[in-house]
Copies of this chain bind each other. A is one copy, B any other.
Amino acid sequence: MTDLETSMATILTVFQKYSEREGDKHKLKKSELKDLLHDELPDLMAHVNDQAALDSLMDSLDTDGDAECNFQEFMTFISVVTVCCHEFFKDEHD
């Protein structure tokens, strides 16, 4: 696989590792999302440091309102964070 293909596969694998722990194995419940963010995005999680901030993040991700985060909602979140990183580094380099 190319590096890009491996990256896409890794995002799928990381989601699944947490989503299949409890309940619906294709969705992240709030505790699974919290564990994923803590373990896999620790630098970002430093800015989501209280329960209210996590609740707010979960609400913004949960576009279909079922109180869980499906893969499409998770992928949208990863995209937004990656685009923000791009904007940051783009401005750094210009």
Contact = CB atoms under 8 A, between A and B. Distances in A.
Interface stretch (A49-57, A60-68, A84-92): A84-92
- Most chain B C-beta atoms within 10 Å of own C-beta, residue among A3, A14, A40: A3
B76 A2 contact: no
Chain A: interface residue count, which band? Answer: 20 to 34
A40 B2 CA distance: 6
Interface in A11-32: 11-15, 26
A89 B12 CA distance: 10
Given A5-B43, A79-B79, 7 more contacts: A3-B40, A7-B11, A7-B14, A8-B85, A11-B82, A12-B82, A71-B90
A40 B75 contact: no
A46 interface: no
Contacts of A79: 75-76, 78-79
